[in-house]
Each structure stands twice: as structure tokens, then as C-alpha cells.
């Protein structure tokens, strides 16, 4: 499993409750000793809406301290399948 610094530049899913209760899809732009620099389209759209702007000149990234991150989901090079979609679990 790669460590977080090896995931920089990739898309990850993270649970950051102070931003949103549900996990968010992020592009990880950087990592520091005390936290991460993610980009999220959902957060960008929310910020633009609150500021009353239709667009931003630059991509919005934000610093999230590790203390505010509940978990980060990475991936490995193997397929992920839905058991329900294949009829293995009943709805």
C-alpha cells in the first residue's frame, strides 16, 4: 500500500467532518508534516457560491490538518466490484 506522500497527484477519498459529513473525492496536491493540501470540486463550488462568483482564476486548494481528517481511502491495482451488482448480496 502506498503511503500518503506517494499518493500526491492522485485522487483519493477522505472523510473530513468539518467540511462535510460524507466522504469527499479529492485530488491530493501536497502533504506536509501536519496535514494535506487537497482540491475538491465540491468544496470549490460551495466556496464560489458563498462568494457569489461564477468562476475562480486559479484552482482552489485548502490545507486540512491531520487532526481534522477522520480517514483517507486509497486504492491498489486490483478491480473493486459491487457484490450487490453481481447478485451476491440481496438488497
**Look-up: residue for cell 508534516?**
33
Q: What confidence tens digit (pLDDT) does each residue in 29-68 have? A: 999 999 999 999 888 888 899 999 998 888 889 999 999 9
**Please, which pLDDT band fits residue 91 given cuts at 50, 70 and 90?**
low
CA distance 62 to 14: 13
Element (H, E) at 39: strand 35-39
Mean pLDDT of the chain: 87
- Own/partner long-range contacts of 37-40 (Cβ < 8 Å, ≥24 apart): 37/61, 37/62, 37/63, 37/64, 38/12, 38/14, 38/62, 38/64
pLDDT, residue 36, reads 94
- What residue spans define the domains of the chain? 4-73
Rounded mean pLDDT of 83-91?
73
Q: What number does CATH give the domain 4-73?
A: 2.30.30
Global pTM value: 0.75
Amino acid at each position: 500500500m502506498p503511503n500518503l506522500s506517494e499518493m500526491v497527484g492522485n485522487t483519493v477519498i477522505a472523510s473530513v467532518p468539518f467540511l462535510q459529513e460524507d466522504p469527499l473525492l479529492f485530488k491530493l496536491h501536497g502533504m506536509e508534516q501536519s496535514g494535506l493540501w487537497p482540491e475538491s470540486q465540491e468544496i470549490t463550488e460551495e466556496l464560489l457560491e458563498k462568494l457569489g462568483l461564477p468562476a475562480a482564476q486559479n484552482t482552489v486548494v485548502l490545507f486540512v490538518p491531520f487532526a481534522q481528517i477522520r480517514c483517507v481511502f486509497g486504492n491498489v491495482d486490483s478491480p473493486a466490484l459491487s457484490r450487490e451488482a453481481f447478485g451476491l448480496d440481496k438488497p
